[in-house]
Amino acid sequence: MFKKGSLSTLLGVLILMIGVLAGLLLVNQVQDFRNKAKESANKTFTICHKNTFGEIVWEELEVSQGDLKVYLDQGDILGECPPTN
């Protein structure tokens, strides 16, 4: 039916195809991960910023994710400012 050499060759080709398919799937996953990382790096947040020049005035700002912690550490609020009366 099959010679010993042809069976091992067929098995080798099958293993090679599985390896290539697995490699393609891994490359796709890595690319998805990189795309999500880029999206989150470019993400902006609305904060309610306390401007203390003279009297205290609250204003809404859009800040990047990298700058968000600095603003929140200064006492700013994540989200829109409440309406003033």
- At residue 83, the pLDDT reads 79
Percent of the chain whose pLDDT exceeds 70:
91
Q: What pTM did the predictor assign?
A: 0.48
49 has which bridge partners? 59
Is the per-residue pLDDT at 27 higher than 90?
yes
Residue indicated by tokens 């091992």: 8
Averaged pLDDT, 10-30: 93
- At residue 60, the pLDDT reads 92
Report the alpha-carbon distance of residue 80 to residue 62 in Å, rounded: 10
Confidence class for position 16, pLDDT limits 50, 70, 90: very high
- At residue 41, the pLDDT reads 66
Contact predicate 66/41, CB 8 Å: yes
Tell me how many degrees the CA angle 64-68-73 measures, rounded to the nearest 5.
160
CB atoms closer than 10 angstroms to residue 49? 18
Is the per-residue pLDDT at 1 higher than 70?
no
pLDDT averaged over the chain?
86
